[in-house]
A and B are shown apart, each in its own frame.
Chain A
Amino acid sequence: MAEMVTDTGPAPRNGGWRPFGRRNGPREEPAVALPLQIGAWLAFVVLLLPVVIVVLAGLNSGDHLTWPPEGLSLRWIFAFFEASEFLDAYVFSLWLAVVVMVISTTLGTMAAIFLTRMTFPGRNLLRAYFLSPLILPGIVLGLALYVFYVSSGIGLSRTLPGLIIGHVLVTAPYVIGTVSAALFNFDIALEEAARSLGAGPFTAFRKVTLPIIGPGVAAGAIFAFIVSFGQFDVSLFLSTPNYTPLPIALYISLRYTFEPTAAAAGIFAIALVVISMLLTSRLINIRRFAGIKFS
């Protein structure tokens, strides 16, 4: 639906980000007025309380998380590891996300190099073409692929490659966005210097360009990974009983009951997302991540 406008410039080394210059003199009032502060904390509660509840439900010693809570235990964590459908789904989602990440990063980086190196009339159109899967609602995209697989008879319906293709379509745009932004800041003269010193095009790219745009590529890869890992809409029509990603498995179980092992799976998913975002914040300046724009 949207294009994430990302700035993949290097994270500031000194941490001295001063948006509006330095203020002089003592501050007589807080930077944010009290009503807005209360609103902000309320929004934080809405944002984070469900996540906290999942963690508590996974560490709860009772059968269900009710009020008052019964105490902490690791029994559901163990139950999750012993034999649960959620462990299989978690491992499958992890595997799927890694495969999707590799394909999307390769396809997306190559396309981004082309988009930033070539100047030709239809360049913006081509860029829009690569971002367009995000405009389509995920469920519509999943349905379109499902119909295409079944009606064309190319043997992809209810298969693993079919599911991977759907995930690549919704993750590659993020890679193209972040890598393009990184390449935009890259000085092509550096690569040209390597070429004029006798390096082949591939060597010059690998030894000069890639190390410099590396953080942008890595950030795009992490985004592809995490978008695939949490993907529900596209998987809805494309997953099968043999290949059930975690979001679908959780949805199927949540329709009937609150399985505490599902909350245990949730804890590990939360950990994965937080680690990914911490990594991203080391790679690119996520404070510039603000601003989501329609393409």
Chain B
Amino acid sequence: MALATAQAGHMPQLPDVRRILADSRLYWLVLPAFVFFLIFFVIPTVSLFLISFDKSVAGVVDIQWDFTLKNYIRFFNRSLYYEAAIRSIGLAAIVSVVTLALGYPLAYFVAKTRHPGRNTFYMILVLSAMQLDMVIRLFGLMVLMGDNGVINGILRDIGAIREPLPLMYNFFGAVVGLVQFTLPFMVLSLIGIIRSIHPSLEEAARSLGANRWTTFWRITFPLSMPGILAGTLLVFAISISSYVVPALMGGWKVIVMPLHIYQQIAEMGKWQFGATIAVVLFVTSMIAVYIYQRFAARTAGGRA
């Protein structure tokens, strides 16, 4: 204690210490991560972009420095490929809408749960569902939705159907799988914003004579618009780039862009064209982000 008091006399030296802390030696802290990202993130993505413009030669990976637009022309001229792009966008858009419709009530419910223990419990459920490997969840979904699966089994037992309903290995299955995949992301983007809406706003609407339904649609829902926009955008971006869900739940009948990428590389050895599809996939999701943010700036009224 006496030591501490004695040392307090040194306090005026503080700016000096601050200078030492901000010493250039601090740069050594960021250097490893910076170099790591430069070598293994920047260089690979830039070279992937470059080879997507390179002359297409099956089995050749190296950059040949023979740039052309042929790969992109091929992509937009073959219905096989541009239809996959349209299918990807359509699938992701449908999934975004369904996930919002399903995720909003859950987010609202969790946000309005005041009991701290129960609230934490719901958050752990949502976070665990999000962090669990998607392939494991797909196992569950496929056992549930197959022709001899649990749902068809129950329906057959109660005599509702004779022939099994085609629940998966089709577009419907891919939608269900992606909704299951993206639901936690939607819920987490919504909870924060719903929680931040002050209840006095809802109470004011109620006291002015609005019923619950009107209050929800006129007050709560519009005020949660920034979360809705962020959530649907995130869900769209995750859905459009998912490989494993369309591959398993679509049964190779719902051919989207990520499946084409894998086929071009792993099965045909067409590196340049695979890179082209990857670039188209990335640019498509970036365009979606851009359009959405333009739209969001107008609707969210500065809350985004």
Contacts and interface: CB of A to CB of B under 8 A. Distances in A.
B180 interface: yes
A90 to B, nearest CB: 11
B143 interface: yes
A16 interface: yes
A113 interface: yes
A254 interface: yes
B30 A143 contact: no
Contacts of A12: 116
A40 B111 CA distance: 11
Contact of A117 (B22, B105, B110, B199): B22
A226 interface: yes
Contacts of B36: 107, 168
Given A51-B129, A138-B241, A192 B18 contact: yes
B63 interface: yes
Contacts of A74: none
A71 B20 CA distance: 68
Most buried by B among A35, A50, A232: A50
A132 B129 CA distance: 24
Interface stretch (A75-83, A146-154, A210-218): A146-154
B45 interface: yes
Given A139-B261, A258-B143, A289-B188, A145 B40 contact: yes
B160 interface: no
A90 B73 CA distance: 44
A236 B129 contact: no
Contact of B212 (A2, A33, A54, A236): A33
B185 interface: yes
B65 interface: no
Interface string A246-257: 110011001100
A145 B275 CA distance: 12
Nearest to A69: B150
B85 interface: no
A15 B119 CA distance: 11
Interface in A1-32: 1-2, 12, 15-20, 29, 31-32
Interface string B37-73: 1001101110110010000000001110000000000
A278 B124 CA distance: 7
A137 B135 contact: no
A277 B127 contact: yes
B199 A20 contact: yes
B33 A291 contact: no
B136 A36 contact: no
B217 to A, nearest CB: 11
Contact of B33 (A17, A111, A117, A274): A111
Nearest to B3: A197
Most buried by A among B10, B37, B103, B136: B136
B254 to A, nearest CB: 15
A30 B244 CA distance: 41
A51 B137 contact: yes
A242 B193 CA distance: 46
B282 A136 contact: yes
Interface string B223-264: 000010011011001101111100110000000001001100
A154 B292 CA distance: 40
Interface in A40-62: 40, 42-44, 46-54, 57
A48 B123 contact: no
B44 A46 contact: no
B37 to A, nearest CB: 7
A188 B19 CA distance: 13
B157 interface: yes
Contact of A227 (B106, B131, B180, B237): B131
A66 B274 contact: no
Contact of A118 (B13, B26, B150, B247): B26
Most buried by B among A19, A141, A291: A291
Nearest to A249: B135
Contact of A196 (B11, B233, B244): B11
A1 B234 contact: yes
Interface in B202-238: 212-213, 216, 227, 230-231, 233-234, 237-238
A195 interface: yes
6 contacts: A47-B180, A132-B37, A137-B258, A255-B248, A269-B136, A289-B188
Interface of A: 1-2, 12, 15-20, 29, 31-33, 35-40, 42-44, 46-54, 57, 64-68, 107-108, 110-111, 113-115, 117-118, 126, 129-130, 132-133, 136-141, 143-148, 150-151, 165, 168-169, 172, 176, 188, 191-192, 195-197, 201, 226-227, 229-230, 232-233, 236-237, 246-247, 250-251, 254-255, 258, 262-263, 266, 269-270, 273-274, 276-278, 280-281, 286-287, 289-294
Give me the 10 closest cross-chain CB pairs, A-B, nearest first: A67-B153, A39-B105, A50-B140, A137-B241, A291-B192, A40-B109, A290-B192, A148-B44, A290-B191, A230-B133
Interface of B: 4, 7, 10-11, 13-14, 17-18, 20-22, 26-27, 29-30, 32-34, 36-37, 40-41, 43-45, 47-48, 51, 61-63, 101-106, 108-114, 116-117, 119-120, 123-129, 131-144, 146, 148-150, 152-154, 156-157, 179-180, 183-185, 187-193, 195, 198-200, 212-213, 216, 227, 230-231, 233-234, 237-238, 240-244, 247-248, 258, 261-262, 265-266, 271, 274-275, 278, 281-282, 285, 289, 293
